[in-house]
A and B are shown apart, each in its own frame.
Chain A
Amino acid sequence: MTNFRRIIKAGFINFRRGGLVSWAAVLIVTITLSVITALMLLQAVLSFSLAQIKDKVDVTIYFNVGAPKDQIMLLQSSLEKLPEVAEVTYTSAEEALALFRARHENDYPTIQALDEIKGNPLGALLNVRAKEVSQYETIANFLKSDNALVLGGEGIIDKVNYYQNKIVIDRLNSIISGGQKLGFLITLILIVISIIITFNTIRLTIFISKEEIGVMRLVGASNMGIRGPFMVEGAIYGVVATLFTLILFWPITRLLEKSMTEFWGLNLYDYYLSNFPQILVLVLLSGTLLGIISSFLATRKYLK
Chain B
Amino acid sequence: MIYFNNVSKVYNGDGVALDDVTFSVAGGEFVSVVGHSGAGKTTLVKMILAEDRPTTGTVFFESVNIHKLKNGDLTKLRRRIGVVFQDFKLLSNKTAYENVAFAMEAVGKTDEEIAADAPHVLELVDLGNKVFHFPHQMSGGEQQRLAIARAIVNQPELIIADEPTGNLDPINTFEVIQIFKKINDLGTTIILATHNRGVVDSINKRVVTLEKGKIIRDDKEGKYVL
Q: Which of A179-225 contact B (CB under 8 A)?
A: 211-212, 214-223, 225
A6, A18, A211, A217 pick with most chain B CB within 10 angstroms = A217
Among B83, B102, B107: residue with most chain A CB under 10 A: B102
Q: In chain B between 74 and 100, which residues have their CB closer than 8 angstroms to a CB of chain A?
A: 75-76, 78-79, 81, 83, 89-93
C-alpha spacing A212/B79, complex, angstroms: 17
| Interface presence of B105 (CB below 8 A) | yes
- Chain B residues, Cβ within 8 Å of A220: 75-76, 78-79, 81, 103, 106-107
Alpha-carbon gap, A218 to B102, bound state (A): 12
B111→A215 contact, CB < 8 A: no
Chain A minimum-CB-distance residue to B111: A2
Tell whether, in the assembled complex, residue B105 and residue A225 are in contact, meaning their CB atoms are under 8 Å apart: yes
From the candidates B75, B83, B91, B103, name the one contacting A222 in the complex (CB within 8 A).
B75
Q: Could you say which residues of chain A place their CB within 8 Å of the CB of B150? A: 219
Chain B nearest CB from A205 CB (Å) reads 12
Residues 141-177 (chain A) with a chain B CB within 8 angstroms: none
User: Of residues 165 to 216 in B, which have CB atoms within 8 Å of A's CB atoms?
Assistant: none
A14 at the interface (CB under 8 A from B): yes
What are the residues of chain A within 8 A of B71 when measuring CB–CB?
223
Total number of A residues with any Cβ neighbor in B under 8 Å: 20
Contacts of B75 in A (CB 8 A): 217, 220-223
The answer, yes or no, to whether B139 is at the interface (CB within 8 Å) is no
> Is A301 in contact with chain B by the CB < 8 A criterion?
no
A81 interface residue (CB < 8 Å to B): no
User: Would B111 and A219 count as touching, CB distance under 8 A?
Assistant: no
- Set of chain A residues within 8 Å of B102, measured between Cβ atoms: 216, 219, 221
Find chain B residues with CB under 8 A from A14 CB: 93
Asked whether, in the complex, the Cβ of A215 is within 8 Å of the Cβ of B89, the reply is yes
Partner of A212, one of B91, B105, B106: B91
**B106 & A6 in contact (Cβ 8 Å cutoff):** no
A3→B105 CA distance, assembly (Å): 8
Docked pose: A272 CA to B110 CA in angstroms: 48
Which residues of A (1-18) have their CB < 8 Å from a CB of B?
2-3, 6, 13-14, 17-18
Question: B49 an interface residue at 8 Å Cβ cutoff?
Answer: yes
Residues in chain A near residue B90, CB distance under 8 A: 215
Closest to A19 in B: B93
Within 8 A of B (CB), among A29-84: none
CA distance A13 to B101 in the complex (A): 14
Is B106's CB under 8 angstroms from A221's CB? yes
Please, how many angstroms separate the alpha-carbon atoms of A6 and B106 in the complex? 11
Bound CA–CA A17/B134 (angstroms) = 11
Residues of chain B lying within 8 A (CB to CB) of residue A17? 93
Min CB gap A116→B, angstroms: 94
Docked complex Cα distance between A12 and B130 (Å): 23
Within 8 A of A (CB), among B34-55: 49, 51
In Å, the complex CA distance between A216 and B90 comes to: 9
A218 CB → nearest B CB, Å: 5
CB distance from B38 to the nearest CB of A (A): 22
CA–CA, A225 and B105, complex, Å = 9
List 16 interface pairs A-B (beta carbons < 8 Å), by A numbering.
A2-B110, A2-B111, A17-B93, A211-B89, A216-B106, A218-B78, A218-B89, A219-B103, A220-B76, A220-B79, A220-B81, A220-B103, A220-B107, A221-B105, A222-B75, A222-B106
6 closest residue pairs by CB, A with B = A220-B79, A220-B78, A221-B106, A215-B89, A220-B106, A17-B93
Q: Which residues of B does A touch, CB under 8 Å?
A: 49, 51, 71-72, 75-76, 78-79, 81, 83, 89-93, 102-103, 105-107, 110-111, 150
Report which A residues bind B (CB closer than 8 A). 2-3, 6, 13-14, 17-18, 211-212, 214-223, 225
